[in-house]
Amino acid sequence: MRLVYWCWCLALASVTLGSLAEELEAKVNVVDLRLKAEHLFHIASLSNNTRAIGSIGHEGTLHYITRLLREHQGFYDISSQTFNVTFNSIRDYQVSVDGQAVNASAFYYSPATGNVTARAVAVELGCEENDYIDIDIKGCLAVAQRGGCTFERKAQLAKSFDAAGLVIYNSVPGEGLKGTLTRGNDEVGGLVPTFGMSLEDGLKLVNSVSEVSFFMDSAFEKIETRNIIAETKTGDHDNIVLLGSHLDSVEAGPGINDNGSGSITLLHLAQTLAENNIQTENSIRLIWFSAEEVGLIGSSFYADSLTEKENLKIRLMLDYDMLALPNYAFEIYEGDDLVDPVGSQQIKNKYSEWYALHGLNYTFIPMDGRLDYVGFAQQSIPVGGIATGAEKLKLLEEMEMFGGVANESFDQCYHQTCDNLQNLNYNAWETNSKLIFNTLGSYAESLNGFPARHLVATKSLADLRYMYRGDELFI
Ligand SMILES: [Zn+2]
């Protein structure tokens, strides 16, 4: 086919070369990425090496992004969306039987309680009222197996039947269980102190005749923060291409890769579009999400507050988080139209085609709830994105595909104080920024062939597909 139609193919190739996607891709400037990374690091260094919500470094980050965007007020409509986060820290806890401490973890968003001694009572999965009815659970420690519903649902039911606490034990042998009860939304309540255990320890508790003693020292703090939104003034506002990156770091570090890298690439893109006065067929909306690190709160808040009409205008959401790890892999979120909003698969294919075209290897990562796309997918908006790894160990076959070091974490500085300027691989970052610029150019120029939007019933938070909520297990 190619040989027969070579003339036509060449013509098509030249069209592609002159496309907005190619034009934008060529404008990625590593020096600019580096300067911005240095600036973000400087902001963190003035704030005890963090840009986490509630810190001076966080405010500094918000101001920095807003200041750079305001230089292009003629090009963008700029706004922000303020919301509250309930931040939880577990200061101390213990579970013991007959004076012996039991191996347990404390679930985030557990309310505090002083010393309690209570009978342990099994409630099966603890997902239905039926699991509690006919059991005298009042003042007892409910013991449920993991599975069937969210941890939050289990803790709510235990509360509604006046249990004093809850143990959730793992459904597979060998491992303990740690997770979060809720998303850290504004209002957190109606839960009981909740502990995680291994399957073995949980069953021991169920069969124990002794009473169980426990306490939970847990503190809550309300923090106000905001998402920053910039939308091109031109383009069709009924067909929006939305790009998102989270702007906050964890408390433990400056977050230069996580997610300085993603938020800087978006900032570099914003400036490039404006400085070159790029006009596109479809509108471009760029969002820097806050409070990702405490449970994807900013992105969920944004997606949940869209009216039906506004929701339908967003054709797709592309999420960019951790683009430049030293021991990187090129990872694509594995969108699947059978379970994700229709169009997600096409986004995945677009990324793979780009890597393949550039002779680069890539892998897929499951869409299991760890990143900011979740809120959008749950509102039936097609989603996709790329990353370069996290705390997992790199496999031998991944080393063969991407270089680097096998059996070492993709990011040895994941959520640590050393996620600094040394925690960046500029080749990976440049490559991924080019992909992001290219993809944006392509979708902003045309969404022909991309599935039209439909609202399907909002997927429940208990969607078993999203077993994580950010870093923590949720189901
Ligand atoms: Zn991140």
pLDDT for 471 equals 87
Q: What is the pLDDT of residues 364-403, one digit of tens each?
A: 999 999 999 999 999 999 999 999 998 889 999 999 999 9
Ligand 1 centre and the CA of 322: distance in Å?
A: 6
Averaged pLDDT score across all residues of the chain? 93
pLDDT for 463 equals 66
Residue-wise burial string across 298-335, b where 16 or more C-beta atoms lie within 10 A, e elsewhere: bbbbbbeebeeeebbbbbbbbbbbbbbbbbbbbbbbbb
pLDDT for 469 equals 87
Ligand 1 centre and the CA of 141: distance in Å?
A: 36
Point out the least confidently predicted range of 70-74, 185-189, 269-273, 359-363.
Answer: 185-189
What is the arithmetic mean of pLDDT over 146-163?
95
Question: Rounded to whole angstroms, how far apart are CA atoms 128 and 126?
Answer: 6
Confirm if 354 and 346 have CB atoms less than 8 A apart: no
Which pLDDT band holds residue 458 (cuts at 50, 70, 90)?
Answer: low
Question: Rounded to whole angstroms, how far apart are CA atoms 386 and 318?
Answer: 8
pLDDT for 187 equals 75
pLDDT for 134 equals 86
pLDDT for 244 equals 98
Q: What is the pLDDT of residues 155-173, one digit of tens each?
A: 999 999 999 999 999 999 9
pLDDT for 460 equals 55
Ligand 1 centre and the CA of 259: distance in Å?
A: 5
The residues pairing with 244 across neighbouring beta strands, listed in sequence order, are 287, 319
Ligand 1 centre and the CA of 436: distance in Å?
A: 17
Three-class DSSP labels, the chain? CCCCCHHHHHHHHHHHHCCHHHHHHCCCCHHHHHHHHHHHHHHHHCCCCCCCCCCHHHHHHHHHHHHHHHCCCCCEEEEEEEEEEEEEEEEEEEEEECCEECCCEECECCCCEEEEEECEEECCCCCCHHHCCCCCCCCCEEEEECCCCCHHHHHHHHHHCCCCEEEEECCCCCCCCCEECCCCCCCCCCCCCEEEECHHHHHHHHHCCCCEEEEEEEEEEEEEEEEEEEEECCCEEEEEEEEEEECCCCCCCCCHHHHHHHHHHHHHHHHHHHHCCCCCCEEEEEEEECCCCCCCHHHHHHHHCCCHHHHHHEEEEEEECCCCCCCCCCEEECCCCCCCCCCHHHHHHHHHHHHHHCCCCCEEECCCCCCCCHHHHHCCCCEEEEECCCCCECCHHHHHHHCCCCCCECCCCCCCCCCCCCCCCHHHHHHHHHHHHHHHHHHHHCCCCCCCCCCCCCCCCCCCCCCEECCEECC
Which pLDDT band holds residue 3 (cuts at 50, 70, 90)?
Answer: very low
pLDDT of 185 strictly over 90: no
Q: Among residues 250, 333, 255, which one has the least CA distance to residue 291?
A: 250
Ligand 1 centre and the CA of 325: distance in Å?
A: 12
Ligand 1 centre and the CA of 257: distance in Å?
A: 8
Find where tokens 């939970």 sit: 216
pLDDT of 28 strictly over 70: yes
Q: Which two tokens stand for residue 459?
A: 């997927």
Q: What is the pLDDT of residues 200-221, one digit of tens each?
A: 999 999 998 899 999 999 999 9
Domain ranges of the chain: 23-75+233-473, 88-220
pLDDT for 406 equals 95
The residue type found at 256 is I
Ligand 1 centre and the CA of 289: distance in Å?
A: 10
What is the arithmetic mean of pLDDT over 236-248?
98
Q: What is the pLDDT of residues 91-134, one digit of tens each?
A: 999 999 999 999 999 999 999 999 999 999 999 999 999 999 88
Point out the least confidently predicted range of 177-191, 233-247, 369-383.
Answer: 177-191
Ligand 1 centre and the CA of 159: distance in Å?
A: 33
pLDDT for 104 equals 97
Ligand 1 centre and the CA of 327: distance in Å?
A: 16
Ligand 1 centre and the CA of 275: distance in Å?
A: 28
Ligand 1 centre and the CA of 15: distance in Å?
A: 36
Question: Rounded to whole angstroms, how far apart are CA atoms 75 and 274?
Answer: 6
pLDDT for 459 equals 56
Catalytic residues: 292
Equal fold, 23-75+233-473 vs 88-220: no
Ligand 1 centre and the CA of 265: distance in Å?
A: 14
88-220 maps to CATH 3.50.30.30: yes
The residues pairing with 365 across neighbouring beta strands, listed in sequence order, are 333
Q: What is the pLDDT of residues 394-443, one digit of tens each?
A: 999 999 999 999 999 999 999 999 999 999 999 999 999 999 999 999 99
Question: Rounded to whole angstroms, how far apart are CA atoms 283 and 281?
Answer: 7
Task: State which fold the 23-75+233-473 domain adopts.
Answer: Aminopeptidase (3.40.630)
The residues pairing with 243 across neighbouring beta strands, listed in sequence order, are 286, 318
End-to-end CA distance of the chain: 51
Ligand 1 centre and the CA of 419: distance in Å?
A: 11
Q: Among residues 282, 268, 271, which one has the least CA distance to residue 235?
A: 282
Taken in order 154, 250, 296, 290, the sign of the CA dihedral is positive
pLDDT for 456 equals 79
Which pLDDT band holds residue 457 (cuts at 50, 70, 90)?
Answer: low
Judged on CB neighbours under 10 Å (0-12, 13-18, 19+), 26 is exposed
Neighbours of 10 (CB within 10 A): 10
pLDDT of 60 strictly over 80: yes
Residue 428 makes CB contacts below 8 A (sequence gap 6+) with 323, 324, 325, 328, 330, 388
Q: Among residues 298, 355, 354, 350, which one has the least CA distance to residue 321?
A: 298
Ligand 1 centre and the CA of 288: distance in Å?
A: 12
What is the arithmetic mean of pLDDT over 304-318?
97
Question: Rounded to whole angstroms, how far apart are CA atoms 346 and 350?
Answer: 6
Q: What is the largest CA-CA distance in the chain?
A: 84
